[in-house]
Chains A and B, each alone.
Chain A
Amino acid sequence: MNLNIAALAWRNIRTRKARSWLTILGVLIGATAIVTLVAIGTGVEQAVLRQFRDVGLDVVLLVPGETTGQGMSAPPDFGAQISVEGKAGGSPALGAQSLTGLTGSEGSRVLDPSALRREVPAITEIGQVSTRVFAVSAGQVSGFVRVVTPSRDLVDGFPGLLGGFEIAEGHLAAPDASSQVVLGAGIAVEMSAGVGDVITVDGVRLTVSGILKPSVGGNPAIGGDLVTGQGAEAFQSLASTDDAVFVLHEHSAALWPDMTMSSIVAVRIRTGISVTETIEQINGALELQGLRMTPISTQALADNVQRTLGMVEIVLVSIASISLLVGAVGMMNTMYTSVLERTREIGILKSVGAKDRQVLGLFLLDSGLMGLAGGGLGAALGVVASFLSTDPLGDLIGVTTFAPVFPAWLLAGAVGLSCVLGSLAGLWPAWHAARTDPVTALAAE
């Protein structure tokens, strides 16, 4: 009997094609919006979190200076400024500028890693890195380039901080080879320098010992434009290796003796130890050494991103849900009009023996089927739309290596929700239809 009612409902949808499709379209748009937004949101979140995981969620950076909770000012553009024929772009003053403008009065005091390790036993690994912009030249090409000086410990223990630091050609400077340099993939191309070539960095001649692999997807700054404040810039500028050259920290002091280098220190915390507590210990140790540095944990940044994205997603999905709701109201309108139009038909059905609940079921199925069709087609369209919008959106938010994610609950939920909303929208009109008095209905035009 129910099958027969379903057949009648389906026949009705088919015979009112145009209106059925328009009604389905209203629900479809809502379902598409929800699926697309959640799939992209989840995809971006996973991509950003993956970047943080690559660095290591057990990593804490100690950034020179004090941050005020609002994060630091945006870093200047340290992209390579290359010009041909030896004409240097930019002002020479840049040469003394540090990465985050953090060389303060405490710049002369340098953290003692072994002392920190002694005082905070939860630290398993420690490394440091500093960044400067120097005038660099190679043959006819010269310009200002970011010079990153990681310690060997940092390269070995925290390659994720330096975007993986995979060497494509050659090798890292040998311990005794103090005048060797590794080039980022982009710089190597722009300077057309290869392994064995000699380049000049701030007047010091260095031999290229290795060239890095290009960063995946161009320049994957961690978290893209989504992560700001709280020292996120430190992570982001370190992670992009294409436009930088690398000299080991152990050698840089000898190469540029009159430069004070304020370092970013990376520490890894033993698994299972509370990051928050360890940070407190680190703060105490820093105070003892008389240093002003701010600890920033990867975990905190990741949590931050997750929270921000979660909030954005909730807002977007709420808006998308409203469109689904509007679709449902449209369906209610269609169903109510349909009930009014088919009043006489309802009378006929009742005169040939249709029970109230059969009439109710007929109209409920009508709207439920339309909801199901809208949800199903909407979910399918959402999958297509997500893939189509991945590239333009990725460029927009600076996260280029994400793919939309379609969890089963999302697709099933979108279809299910549409079907339920469709049925609910049809409930009142259907009830109205079921209650129609057969004699009055038969008299209707």
Chain B
Amino acid sequence: MISVEQVTKTYRRGRNLVEAVRGLDLEIPVGAFSVIMGPSGSGKSTLLHLIGCLDSPTTGEIWFDGTCLSQLSSDQRAQIRGHRMGFVFQRFNQIPNLSARENVELPLLLAGTPRWQARRRAGDMLAWVGLDHRASHRPSELSGGELQRVTIARALANEPDVILADEPTGNLDATTGDRVIDMLRRLREEGKTCVIVTHNPELAGDDDLRVFIRDGVRVDSLVREMQEVEL
């Protein structure tokens, strides 16, 4: 269970202070497939970074499984990123001079997994995303869809509880994008909580937890009203 309570995030851009998130509340139950939607610059990516321990809120608290994330040390947050969360990025973020398998091994090695075990686990994960035959290829030799599947394999390597995906289909064509989303949906069956940030409302299904953000605040009710009007 992830609980976001009155969170604000202010950062400095040049001389200006930018309020990316302004007093936001959100609850994501365990095993939920949640889709956070909003136009670009709405603060949805910032929210994902805050939930994912990549960043700390300026004010407010984020609770994850009974732990207040904003009170953790840098090391403890790294620990949570490595063991409890898995990230899927729009830009894939593979390390270019490592092969696909080595990229998947990375979180395992950083977590202290023995090398032989990390290698086997990385192989299993690549097989799960259907890329075991591309394991020794460098990121530059892989297509966008393949890269995103490697990213998913890497995100799953340490068996995290939560998968956080920031515009996972942003750099993919529609068909490949759908495949990636299907793959993420399959994770729900394994009890993983998914948080997906996108500006594309079509990604969200009726059963998903849908969150709309604009200018750093939730506008769910507004959007619902608009949708009802459209209907």
- On chain A, the residues within 8 Å of B106 by CB distance are 349, 352
Task: Tell me whether A355 and B158 are in contact (CB under 8 A).
Answer: no
Closest Cβ neighbor of B74 among chain A residues: A356
Given contacts A1-B112, A4-B112, A353-B110, contact A344 B74 (CB under 8 A): no
User: CB within 8 Å of B: which residues of A?
Assistant: 1, 3-4, 7-8, 11-12, 15, 344-345, 347-358, 437-439, 442
CB 8 Å contact bits of B45-63 with A (1 = contact, 0 = none): 0000100101100000000
* Total contacts A-B at CB 8 Å: 73
Task: Tell me whether A351 and B87 are in contact (CB under 8 A).
Answer: yes
* Residue B98 lies at the interface, judged by CB distance under 8 Å to chain A: yes
Task: Tell me whether A353 and B95 are in contact (CB under 8 A).
Answer: no
Cα(A1)–Cα(B106), bound, Å: 11
* Residue B109 lies at the interface, judged by CB distance under 8 Å to chain A: yes
25 A-B pairs with CB atoms under 8 Å apart are A1-B110, A8-B109, A11-B98, A11-B102, A348-B94, A349-B110, A350-B81, A351-B52, A351-B54, A351-B87, A351-B93, A352-B81, A352-B106, A353-B79, A353-B83, A353-B111, A354-B78, A354-B82, A355-B74, A356-B75, A357-B75, A439-B49, A439-B54, A442-B54, A442-B89
Cα(A437)–Cα(B110), bound, Å: 18
Q: Which 10 A-B pairs have the closest CB atoms?
A: A353-B82, A352-B107, A4-B109, A15-B97, A1-B112, A355-B78, A438-B54, A348-B93, A353-B81, A353-B110
Given contacts A350-B81, A355-B75, A355-B79, contact A11 B110 (CB under 8 A): no
Cα(A439)–Cα(B46), bound, Å: 9
Task: Tell me whether A352 and B97 are in contact (CB under 8 A).
Answer: no
Contact of B78 among A1, A11, A356, A442 (CB under 8 A): A356
Task: Tell me whether B74 and A353 are in contact (CB under 8 A).
Answer: no
For residue B95, give the distance in angstroms from its CB to the closest CB of chain A.
5
- On chain A, the residues within 8 Å of B98 by CB distance are 11
Known contacts A4-B115, A354-B110; 12 further A-B pairs (Cβ under 8 A): A7-B109, A11-B97, A345-B95, A349-B110, A352-B81, A352-B110, A353-B81, A353-B107, A353-B110, A355-B75, A355-B110, A438-B55
- On chain A, the residues within 8 Å of B109 by CB distance are 1, 4, 7-8
Cα(A348)–Cα(B147), bound, Å: 14
* Residue B154 lies at the interface, judged by CB distance under 8 Å to chain A: yes
Cα(A439)–Cα(B89), bound, Å: 12
Closest Cβ neighbor of A434 among chain B residues: B74
For residue B166, give the distance in angstroms from its CB to the closest CB of chain A.
9
For residue A444, give the distance in angstroms from its CB to the closest CB of chain B.
11
For residue B53, give the distance in angstroms from its CB to the closest CB of chain A.
9
For residue B9, give the distance in angstroms from its CB to the closest CB of chain A.
10
- On chain A, the residues within 8 Å of B112 by CB distance are 1, 4
- On chain A, the residues within 8 Å of B97 by CB distance are 11-12, 15
- On chain B, the residues within 8 Å of A439 by CB distance are 49, 54-55
- On chain B, the residues within 8 Å of A355 by CB distance are 74-75, 78-79, 110
- On chain A, the residues within 8 Å of B154 by CB distance are 352
Closest Cβ neighbor of B46 among chain A residues: A439
For residue B57, give the distance in angstroms from its CB to the closest CB of chain A.
13
For residue A7, give the distance in angstroms from its CB to the closest CB of chain B.
8
- On chain B, the residues within 8 Å of A437 by CB distance are 55
Task: Tell me whether A348 and B95 are in contact (CB under 8 A).
Answer: yes
Cα(A358)–Cα(B115), bound, Å: 17
- On chain B, the residues within 8 Å of A345 by CB distance are 95
Closest Cβ neighbor of B94 among chain A residues: A348
Cα(A442)–Cα(B93), bound, Å: 8
Cα(A12)–Cα(B98), bound, Å: 9
CB 8 Å contact bits of B77-121 with A (1 = contact, 0 = none): 011011100010100011101100010001101111001000000
Cα(A350)–Cα(B52), bound, Å: 11
Closest Cβ neighbor of B109 among chain A residues: A4
Given contacts A353-B81, A353-B83, A355-B78, contact A344 B110 (CB under 8 A): no
Closest Cβ neighbor of A3 among chain B residues: B115
Closest Cβ neighbor of B104 among chain A residues: A352
- On chain B, the residues within 8 Å of A1 by CB distance are 109-110, 112
For residue B151, give the distance in angstroms from its CB to the closest CB of chain A.
10
Given contacts A344-B93, A348-B93, contact A353 B115 (CB under 8 A): no
Per the 8 Å Cβ criterion, residues 116-166 of B in contact with A are: 154, 158
Cα(A386)–Cα(B89), bound, Å: 56
- On chain B, the residues within 8 Å of A442 by CB distance are 54, 89, 93
Cα(A357)–Cα(B78), bound, Å: 11
Closest Cβ neighbor of A1 among chain B residues: B112
Closest Cβ neighbor of A362 among chain B residues: B110
> Which of A11, A352, A437, A438 has most B Cβ within 10 Å?
A352
- On chain B, the residues within 8 Å of A4 by CB distance are 109-110, 112, 115
Cα(A12)–Cα(B94), bound, Å: 15
Cα(A354)–Cα(B112), bound, Å: 11
> Which of B87, B95, B115 has most A Cβ within 10 Å?
B95
